[in-house]
Amino acid sequence: MGSQLAALNEWVTEVAELTGPDAIHWCDGSDVENAALVAQMQADGTLIELNQQTHPGSWLHRSDPDDVARVEHLTFVCTTEQDDAGPNNHWMSPADGHAKVDALFDGCMAGRTMYVVPYCMGPIDSPLSRCGVEITDSPYVVANMRIMTRMGAPALARIEQEKSFVKGLHSVGELDPERRFIMHFPEELTIKSYGSGYGGNALLGKKCHALRIASHQAKSEGWLAEHMLILGLENPQGETHYIAAAFPSACGKTNLAMLIPPEGYRVDGWKVWTVGDDICWMRPGSDGRLYAINPEAGFFGVAPGTSASSNPNALKSIQSNTIFTNVGVTADNQPWWEGIDNGMSPVTDWRGEPYDASKRPAAHPNSRFTVSAKQCPCYSPEAENPAGVPISAIVFGGRRPSLVPLVFEARDWTHGVLVGAAMGSETTAAASGAVGVMRRDPMAMKPFCGYNFADYFAHWLSLDDGRNKLPKIFHVNWFRKGEDGKFLWPGFGENLRVLEWMIGRVKDEAHAIETPIGHLPTLDDLNLDGVSLSDEARAKLFDFDRPGWKAELDSIGDYLEGYGPRMPQALKDEQQRIVKALVAIEPS
């Protein structure tokens, strides 16, 4: 027996002694095992069978009404030194973290089966992949982990050969919000989650492992674990460039990952291939380029708003073999959510009660679908490539109603890291007449970076070592609004026009003008055939407001200072360089 398997067996024994289950089941990931688990969950009401004519192999799960989303205020990073967790994380010492959560785990699996779930994040034979084991008392978690990871016997075989694996211990506990914690111990490659059966709190391979723990692993091993989609953009010549993009929530990540080109582009032969919609692991290859894998094997997508018009590829993906969580159902037992626009109506809401629009929406706003990525019509065959795909461009973006143009290119890697560090989305303040409030979400990693953001920015900067051939970095803003409060850019499939310009810049074939904030395209640099833009849109989407950007850069400077002495001087110098460039063009 390999040393890692011996260590795994020892850990399983320790957990069983702590939690006291009635039985222990080692998951092999087989169809037979899954069918038995599904039958068990159907019998006890955990899963409800949906219409098998319209949605074969699909099920509905209703979670506890107090257990419907990630709980960031109960999510802790437990490092020996508090500064290593940083001001971006809730911190607890490892000793206190273990003691607090182990007291909850004591005897919690009595009367339950303890499932041992070996899994691999990423293609099973990829050197970029990393393995973990989740111990859980939730068959719902097992069924979801089977879709979201490479789970079972092949992962166990890889664990036997490898030097380490991430340990994840989970119990639904009593589903008591007062007895709920998600603890991360990055220095021990360990996760302990108690009291939730929902999504990222319970599917420990997802945000817990693939971002919080993996970001810490990546820092020590010289790679990046990022909250990014990965898409392939294929031009009419058959050449494919891969783009990784980070957006905060509600900014269209999945829609971009599964984008359908405008009709003119489709006729010309343009295609978009989906590698991943949420998480990206990147590592420099032998040629110095960044190569990326999607560590996940499935999509855990937000259902509301998904429709034939907003994201037809996502909708096609979830017509079979899908687990729906907290959606409504129609009279003939089909899944339903707000925005599906299919001409049907719900009769039962996400709590299982008769639908009453005045009481609550049919689907919870954070309701989900879990489905294999291989069911996506535009799923890239390169997603299974053990070497990963070479990244040509990295894109950051947020929901900015004002100031930020449609797209700009960072002048170099350091500027690009600053752009990512400063990104965010504006909200409307409740006070009458108040301006938008900026919530910065660096690289869309604010809830997910497993260590101090200042050290994280330094790690990004360290990749620019003179040997690596790094991607160009861009920033986009699909959400600029006009004076009438309406979006100036049509978005959705039309965003391909911006991606085309980016790849033109990567190939040194597209024009841009240099400004203090970066390289901007002119109206003539984008293919706008068939796009109707108002004069206001043409002015605001392709220009920059110097006084507004001066205020923005001052705000960014204050933000960087908030991380204290660990903040890399190079980012502060870059912020000052841009400020000076903006001041230099002040009208006399």
Q: CATH number, domain at 396? A: 3.90.228.20
Note whether 292 and 303 are same-domain residues: no
Is 523 inside a domain boundary?
Answer: yes
Note whether 133 and 101 are same-domain residues: yes
Note whether 393 and 498 are same-domain residues: yes
Q: Of 525, 544, 563, which marks where a domain is finished? A: 544
Distance CA 376, CA 388 (A): 19
Q: CATH number, domain at 107? A: 3.40.449.10
pLDDT at 431: 32
Q: Of 187, 207, 222, which marks where a domain is finished? A: 222
User: H helices then E strands: how many in the chain?
Assistant: 17, 30
pLDDT at 426: 74
3-state class (DSSP) for residue 559: helix
How would you write the pLDDT of the chain (588 residues) with one tens digit per residue? 567 889 999 999 999 999 999 999 999 999 999 999 999 999 999 999 999 999 999 999 999 999 998 888 999 999 999 999 999 999 999 999 999 999 999 999 999 999 999 999 999 999 999 999 999 999 999 999 999 999 999 999 999 999 789 999 999 999 999 999 999 999 999 999 999 999 989 999 999 999 999 999 999 999 999 999 999 999 999 999 999 999 988 788 999 999 999 999 999 999 999 999 999 999 999 999 999 999 999 999 999 999 999 999 999 999 999 999 999 999 999 999 999 999 999 999 999 999 999 999 999 999 999 999 999 999 999 999 999 999 999 999 999 999 999 999 999 999 999 999 999 887 543 333 344 577 899 999 999 999 999 999 999 999 999 999 999 999 999 999 999 999 999 999 999 999 999 999 999 999 999 999 999 999 999 999 999 999 999 999 999 999 999 999 999 999 999 999 999 999 999 999 999 999 998 664
Note whether 493 and 407 are same-domain residues: yes
Q: How many domains does the chain have?
A: 3
pLDDT at 252: 87
| Length of the chain as a residue count | 588
Written as one string, the DSSP assignment of 521-546 is: --GGGS--TT----HHHHHHHT---H
3-state class (DSSP) for residue 293: strand
Note whether 390 and 406 are same-domain residues: yes
Is 574 inside a domain boundary?
Answer: no
Instruction: Check: CB of residue 124 under 8 Å from CB of residue 155.
Output: yes
Is 570 inside a domain boundary?
Answer: no
Distance CA 274, CA 256 (A): 9
Is 168 inside a domain boundary?
Answer: yes
Is 114 inside a domain boundary?
Answer: yes
Q: Of 188, 222, 256, which marks where a domain is finished? A: 222
**Taken in order 153, 156, 162, 166, is the CA torsion positive or negative?**
positive
| Structural element, H or E, at residue 257 | helix 253-257
Q: At what angle do helices 3-19 and 94-105 cross, to 10 degrees?
A: 60
Note whether 334 and 433 are same-domain residues: no
Note whether 184 and 253 are same-domain residues: no
Is 484 inside a domain boundary?
Answer: yes
Note whether 341 and 286 are same-domain residues: no
Distance CA 72, CA 376 (A): 30
Note whether 122 and 185 are same-domain residues: yes
Instruction: Check: CB of residue 25 under 8 Å from CB of residue 115.
Output: yes
Note whether 105 and 188 are same-domain residues: yes
Is 582 inside a domain boundary?
Answer: no
3-state class (DSSP) for residue 122: coil
By residue range, what is the domain housing residue 354? 298-375
Note whether 320 and 198 are same-domain residues: no
**Taken in order 408, 412, 415, 421, is the CA torsion positive or negative?**
positive
Q: Which residues, including other chains, have CB under 8 Å from residue 317's CB and lie 6 or more apart?
A: 299, 371, 375, 376, 377
What positions carry a catalytic annotation?
A: 251
Q: Which residues, including other chains, have CB under 8 Å from residue 269's CB and lie 6 or more apart?
A: 235, 236
pLDDT at 71: 87
Is 505 inside a domain boundary?
Answer: yes
Q: CATH number, domain at 363? A: 2.170.8.10
Note whether 422 and 455 are same-domain residues: yes
Ramachandran bin of 76, using left for φ above 0, alpha for ψ from -120 to 50, beta for the remaining angles? beta
Written as one string, the DSSP assignment of 394-414 is: EEEE---SSS--SEEE-SSHH
Provide the token pair at 74.
């109960």
3-state class (DSSP) for residue 46: coil
Q: At what angle do helices 413-422 and 453-462 cross, to 10 degrees?
A: 160
Distance CA 17, CA 11 (A): 10
Written as one string, the DSSP assignment of 70-118 is: --GGGEEE--SSHHHH-TTSEE--HHHHHHHHHHHHTTTTTTSEEEEEE
